[in-house]
């Protein structure tokens, strides 16, 4: 209903029950389930008056959620950077500190995981090395690389799109192992060229 008005009696006017009841009924008809935006002050609806978990997706205007409205972990779950080289790798070995535990929120999400290894060393040119992205105890992605010469000049990138991950906590890590031959391998990194792992919600 629109803004309500009532007619108040003037001094000296004789009034009966209807004069009072009509005014009260006008107010009751407006307030008993009929209050609309016309009867709300501009700042009447505040956060404390909105029930938790009550704003539905349909009530949010499309293309109007700005970056400032997103929590820090709304998209970017974790970034891990390692600046100390690790050598002497033969059998499967966890890459030191290249591990991350992340929490997928309620409802589940897809995850994008990217691993960057700047350079690889070997003691035997031509022997292959295998890098594995491990989730818990399960290998979810692998990358094979053959190092020719003492160092690989190009970086190794491991990328995984894991769809429909259920809500919960998950630990990801990277391992390395000699795939064949007799070489000992190393992951070479420093402050200026760290080995990294990034995990995002998409």
Coil, strand or helix: which one is 75? coil
Nearest in space to 131 (alpha carbons), one of 160, 95, 181, 102: 95
CATH number for domain 76-201, candidates 2.60.120.760, 2.40.110.10, 3.50.50.60, 3.40.630.10 = 2.60.120.760
Cα-flanking dihedrals φ and ψ of residue 26, to 5°?
-60, -45
pLDDT the model gives residue 1: 54
CA 195, CA 177: separation in Å to the nearest integer?
17
Q: Domain locations in the chain?
A: 17-65, 76-201
pLDDT the model gives residue 114: 95
Q: Which residue in this structure is represented by tokens 């690989």? A: 152
Count CB neighbours of 7 within 10 A. Answer: 9
Cα-flanking dihedrals φ and ψ of residue 152, to 5°?
-90, 125
Q: Which residue in this structure is represented by tokens 């008993």? A: 32
- How many Å separate Cα 86 from the centre of its chain? 30
CA 11, CA 22: separation in Å to the nearest integer?
18
pLDDT the model gives residue 64: 85
pLDDT the model gives residue 153: 62
pLDDT the model gives residue 2: 64
pLDDT the model gives residue 52: 87
pLDDT the model gives residue 92: 96
pLDDT the model gives residue 34: 72
Task: Point out the residues of the chain with pLDDT beneath 70.
Answer: 1-2, 19, 33, 150-154
């Amino acid at each position: 209903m629109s803004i309500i008005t009532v007619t108040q009696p003037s001094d000296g006017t004789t009034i009966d029950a209807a004069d009072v009841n009509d005014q009260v009924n006008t107010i009751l008809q407006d307030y008993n389930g009929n209050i609309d935006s016309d009867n709300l002050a501009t700042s009447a609806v505040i956060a404390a008056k909105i029930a938790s978990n009550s704003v539905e997706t349909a009530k949010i205007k499309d293309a109007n959620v700005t970056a400032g409205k997103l929590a820090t972990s709304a998209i970017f779950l974790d970034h891990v950077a390692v600046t100390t080289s690790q050598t002497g790798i033969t059998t499967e070995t966890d890459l030191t500190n290249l591990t991350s535990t992340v929490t997928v929120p309620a409802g589940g999400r897809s995850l994008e995981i990217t691993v960057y290894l700047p350079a690889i060393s070997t003691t035997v040119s031509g022997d292959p090395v295998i890098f594995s992205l491990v989730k818990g105890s399960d290998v979810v992605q692998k990358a094979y690389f053959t190092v020719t010469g003492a160092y690989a000049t190009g970086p190794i990138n491991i990328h995984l799109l894991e769809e429909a991950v259920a809500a919960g906590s998950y630990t990801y890590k990277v391992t390395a192992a000699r795939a064949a031959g007799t070489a000992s391998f190393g992951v070479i990194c420093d402050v200026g060229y760290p080995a990294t792992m990034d995990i995002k919600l998409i």
